[in-house]
């Protein structure tokens, strides 16, 4: 499987405090130089059975320590010595240490459990020609998108979207998890509202869940987010309506116009 580059650290050292009068000396003072965060590469972020996670920071005498429970790593955390086989979902965090340089910032990557295997996915509206991803299967391919909305792993829309998912059989589903991007600098906002219906015959649908998502505030960072909609119902067909924000708020250059929303994966959790 093609590797997904999660985080890139192209510059090895950063954070130099350079004094006007002694630039060279200051640059060489090790206490003023920090390691960059380790680069993380994961084979896949939605785990069907196992994923492989590699961390690297190619610099002499660097030690990388990590945690797999969402806590911040320190020098007492397990040391990274080679690719990790990831079988459980959760947040993996890495931090680099060096005998003479400042330790790095923390790199993190989040793994998700794959849901019920979908037999067929269809979209009742047109796929947007600008951001089609890899077609409608983008939403159920166990691949998460990167920080780049144009990486081909995201589907982007400037209107409401209705998705139908057919399961192989009637399945008990506990929740629906939808991955989306928040990047207001690119006019990409959170979906405003998501509604889920279930049916046994693809005719009569019953609403089983609905969530409204708070609109971004000025200054919010770009982020990859997930929304979970509890359903706790059995069904063979699921219909999901994802509504975009119809009026961008006043603080934004696009005020009053409708927003884009970007989706990378829908997981029906058993």
Residue whose CB is less far from Ca ion, 141 or 164:
141
Spatial separation of the C-alpha atoms in residues 258 and 249, rounded to whole Å: 10
Nearest in space to 60 (alpha carbons), one of 90, 89, 100: 100
Q: Is 114 in the site for Ca ion (CB under 5 A)?
A: no
Applying CB under 5 A, the span of 52-60, 82-90, 132-140, 246-254 interacting with Ca ion comes to: 132-140
Residue whose CB is less far from Ca ion, 143 or 190:
143
Least distance in angstroms from the C-beta of 38 to Ca ion: 25
Q: Which two tokens stand for residue 238?
A: 């699921």
C-alpha 61: how far from chain center: 31
Spatial separation of the C-alpha atoms in residues 264 and 45, rounded to whole Å: 12
Residue whose CB is less far from Ca ion, 89 or 254:
89
Least distance in angstroms from the C-beta of 263 to Ca ion: 8
Residue whose CB is less far from Ca ion, 144 or 241:
144
Q: Is 265 in the site for Ca ion (CB under 5 A)?
A: yes
Nearest in space to 106 (alpha carbons), one of 86, 87, 80: 80
Spatial separation of the C-alpha atoms in residues 21 and 18, rounded to whole Å: 9
Q: Is 149 in the site for Ca ion (CB under 5 A)?
A: no
Nearest in space to 266 (alpha carbons), one of 208, 202, 196, 216: 196
Applying CB under 5 A, the span of 25-33, 75-83, 137-145, 162-170 interacting with Ca ion comes to: 137-145
Q: Is 141 in the site for Ca ion (CB under 5 A)?
A: yes
Q: Is 143 in the site for Ca ion (CB under 5 A)?
A: yes
User: What are the C-alpha distances in Å from 189 to residues 68, 145, 264?
Assistant: 30, 16, 14
List the alpha helices (DSSP H) in the chain: 23-28
Residue whose CB is less far from Ca ion, 177 or 211:
177
Applying CB under 5 A, the span of 47-55, 109-117, 141-149, 217-225 interacting with Ca ion comes to: 141-149
Q: Is 121 in the site for Ca ion (CB under 5 A)?
A: no
Q: Which residues bind Ca ion (CB under 5 A)?
A: 138, 141, 143, 264-265
């Amino acid at each position: 499987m093609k590797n997904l580059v999660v985080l890139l650290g192209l510059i090895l050292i950063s954070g130099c405090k350079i004094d006007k009068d002694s630039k060279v000396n200051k640059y060489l003072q090790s206490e003023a130089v920090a390691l960059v965060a380790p680069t993380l590469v994961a084979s896949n972020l939605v785990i069907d059975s196992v994923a492989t996670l590699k961390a690297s920071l190619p610099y002499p005498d660097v030690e990388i320590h990590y945690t797999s429970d969402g806590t911040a790593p320190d020098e007492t955390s397990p040391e990274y010595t080679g690719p990790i086989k990831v079988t459980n979902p959760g947040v993996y965090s890495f931090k680099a240490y060096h005998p003479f340089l400042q330790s790095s910032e923390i790199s993190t990557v989040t793994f998700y459990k794959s849901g019920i295997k979908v037999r067929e996915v269809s979209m009742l509206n047109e796929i947007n020609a600008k951001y089609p991803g890899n077609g409608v299967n983008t939403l159920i391919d166990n691949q998460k998108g990167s920080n780049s909305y144009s990486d081909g792993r995201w589907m982007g829309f400037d209107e409401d979207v209705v998705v139908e998912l057919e399961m192989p059989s009637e399945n008990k589903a506990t929740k629906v998890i939808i991955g989306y991007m928040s990047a207001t600098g690119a006019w990409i906002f959170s979906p405003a509202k998501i509604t889920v219906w279930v049916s046994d015959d693809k005719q009569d649908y019953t609403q089983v869940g609905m969530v409204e998502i708070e609109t971004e505030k000025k200054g919010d960072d770009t982020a990859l987010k997930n929304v979970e909609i509890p359903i706790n119902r059995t069904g063979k067909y699921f219909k999901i309506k994802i509504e975009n924000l119809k009026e961008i708020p006043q603080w934004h250059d696009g005020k009053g116009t409708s927003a884009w929303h970007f989706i990378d994966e829908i997981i029906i959790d058993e």
